[in-house]
Structure 1
Amino acid sequence: MLARKYFCWYALFYCFLFLTGCKSKSSVVKKGPAEQVIPVKIDTIIKTVIVHDTVPKLSIGEHKVWTLGKMGSHAGMRQETAIHYDIRKPNYVIIHHTAQNSLDQTIRTFQVEHTKVSSHYVIGRDGVIVQMLNDYVRGWHAGLSKWGTITDLNSISIGIELDNNGREAFPDEQIAALLVVLDTLKTNYGIPTANFIGHADIAPARKNDPSVFFPWKKLADRGFGIWYNPAELVTAPDTFNPIDALKIIGYDTSNLKAAIIAFKRKFVINDVSPELTVYDKSILYNLYLKY
């Protein structure tokens, strides 16, 4: 009887420890307003991966946020921990429009399992900013894309989605909020001016976002992206090769018509035909000289 009594006490004790451990794991995700997901700090993740080789699944309700699990280590090797390291930082910002009907719909899209898509930030029409992923985490927003020689934009970029159906102007409040986010990202990570680009730039054959309504010049005037100087436009010289110029800027010209349309949607705006006019080439030449 005495042995059975002690066994029961030990069983209760270990159940308590198990439940306490489960509670501590789930506490890495906090709930904010409207079930907003706030991921665990990235330095905690890095230290956990390096030291313990495991990271608990981050989840909120039924929504899987992201899971690192056991990554980056190799079985059978001696494990030691260096104290000098950096985590990878973003070097590009990719701007999208959601092509959906509301901010909440987009948030939901990024929280269900089957969509396989995400972005770091979503900005509402009224200027509300929702951060959905830590800046250092690899989001799934760029998809199959290419810019210059880079074919994995997701690994080095931050994705920003603007709540917009693609057929309407972007409200001033939304663009003002976007500029605040861009300024913060550029300051924090030293992102080059030319590296603020659109989804259509990196995937011209698949995407058209952000649309012709997006104010790229306003962003460029603030240091986010490159724009041409109308006062400096001249007829491109006969030796100018527009295809090479598009490549130098970053466009994938394997589908040349798609690349030209993406270029014109961004810089020409009122004409998105797949041919370059003399005027289009003068804009392209002016931009080419900046690279």
Structure 2
Amino acid sequence: MRISFSILGIFILLLTACSPNPYRKTNRIHKKQLKRYAKELRVFPMEQEDSPSQVNYGPYPVGTTNFNLRRPNYVVIHHTAQDSVRQTLNTFTIPRTQVSAHYVISDKGEVFHMLNDYFRAWHGGVGKWGNNTDLNSTSIGIELDNDGDEEFTYAQINSLLDLLKNLKEKYGIPTENFIGHSDIAPTRKVDPNANFPWKKLAEEGYGLWYDTEEVKKLHLDKDTIRDESIKSNDTLDLRTQPLPKQAIDSSLIVPQNFDPLLALRVIGYDISDPEAAIKAFKLHFIQENINAEFTDYELKVLYNLYQKYL
């Protein structure tokens, strides 16, 4: 009986290994849609104007010789919040879900390229970054297999870095345009989670990060005292009293009129919901104590980043 079960197990394993692509049916649908869009792209200007139109077109069609494909200018990183990469692949191949991404990376580091980079995936939803209110039309969406709480694996992040290198070189994507889903949709999304290594990505050239040593040198204006408030016979205990302004390089003082919300907007955040914007910033750059309040240190981090994004 034991031998029978062993033989059955081996047979099932071999059958699974040799089975055809489980997504062959949806791949056919994908290819059919590609053909339809390719047909639309081949239509010469004015040839689609078969019906009567009030537009006063010229007597003959003229196609410009100077054009190319639209290029993605952002990369938006997500976590899947699902139980497995197989579940995510299924989700992205069922029409009724109305959601997709260009790439999915498994926890083993396998990269599934699900959509041509020039096509518009449905990954960002309603969101905003700077003045851009349609990130789906200008970005590449990358989903990382992660349930929303767990650590990201070494293999997964290595594959992500390899992919980002290719995308940045191929499309000339600016360093600051590698962002997260929570950055563009702070009222709705919290991905990728606080375990995501944004600092490591920034060190490799994908996204910006603050300068830790520079932040340590900064002083908030409230922690200093003005020159005129110091009397000649005053003896200051710098351990308990504010530093005199004349003793600090002015470039190291966060100005009294520094506006945190304005800084968030300069970085790119939608500040229509201030609390959500602050939480999204902290999820990306602080990655602990994700609340809507800034500590003194976090204000210095924000100021340092604000200067980078100016």
TM-score bracket relative to the smaller structure = 0.7 to 0.9
Aligned to 1:58: none
Q: What corresponds to 1:211 in structure 2? A: 193
Match of 1:51 in 2: 42
TM-score w.r.t. structure 1 length?
A: 0.77
1:66-85 to 2 correspondences below 5 Å: 73-76=48-51, 81-85=63-67
User: What is the CA deviation profile of residues 30-72 of structure 1, one whole-angstrom value per residue up to 9, with x for unaligned ones?
Assistant: xx854374966x998776324347xxxxxxxxxxxxxxxxxx9
Report the equivalent of 1:192. Answer: 174
2: CA distance between counterparts of 1:105 and 1:290?
Answer: 39
Structure 1 position 245 matched with structure 2 position 279: no
Secondary structure at 1:159 match in 2? strand
| C-alpha distance after superposition, 1:59-118 (max 9, x if no partner) | xxxxxxxxxxxxx94444765544432111100000000000011100100111111100
Distance 2:205 2:138 in 1: 20
1:257 maps to amino acid: E
Larger radius of gyration: 2
**Residue in structure 2 matched with residue 35 of structure 1 by the alignment:** 23
Asked if 1:114 is matched to 2:96, the reply is: yes
SS of structure 2 residue aligned to 1:100: coil
Contact 1:50 1:81 (8 Å CA) reproduced: no
Per the alignment, in what secondary structure is the counterpart of residue 112 of structure 2? strand
The alpha-carbon distance between structure 1 residues 134 and 257, as it changes in their structure 2 partners (threshold 3 A), is same
Root mean square deviation of aligned Cα: 2.4
Percent of aligned positions that are identical:
48
Q: What is aligned with 1:64?
A: none
Of 105-114 and 230-239, the range deviating more from structure 2: 230-239
- After superposition, the Cα gap between the structure-2 partners of 1:290 and 1:43, relative to the gap in structure 1 and judged at 3 Å, is farther
Partner of 1:227: 209
Residue 175, structure 1, aligned to residue 124, structure 2: no
* Cα distance, 1:154 vs structure 2: 0.3
| Aligned equivalents of 2:63, 2:34: Cα separation in 1 | 15
- The equivalences for 1:111-190 within 5 A come to 111-190=93-172
Deviates more, 1:228-237 or 1:214-223: 228-237
Gaps of 5+ in 2: 1-19, 52-56, 220-253
**Unpaired runs of at least 5, structure 1:** 1-31, 54-71
What CA distance in whole angstroms lies between the structure 1 residues aligned with 2:65 and 2:22? 38
**Could you tell me which residue of structure 2 aligns to residue 94 of structure 1?**
76
1:276 equivalenced with 2:299 (yes/no)? no
Output the CA distance in 2 between the equivalents of 1:130 and 1:33: 13
Per-residue deviation at 1:119? 0.2
Q: Distance in 2 between matches of 1:199 and 1:86?
A: 28
* Matching residue's letter, 1:240: F
Provide TM-score, normalisation by structure 2. 0.73
Secondary structure of the equivalent of 1:289? helix
Q: Is the 8 A contact 1:94 1:197 kept in 2?
A: yes
SS in 1 for 2:189: coil
Residue in 2 that maps onto 1:7: none
Q: Which amino acid aligns with 2:256?
A: D
- What letter is aligned with 2:23? E
1:25 is matched with: none
Q: Secondary structure of 1:122's match?
A: strand
Distance 2:286 2:38 in 1: 48
Aligned length: 242
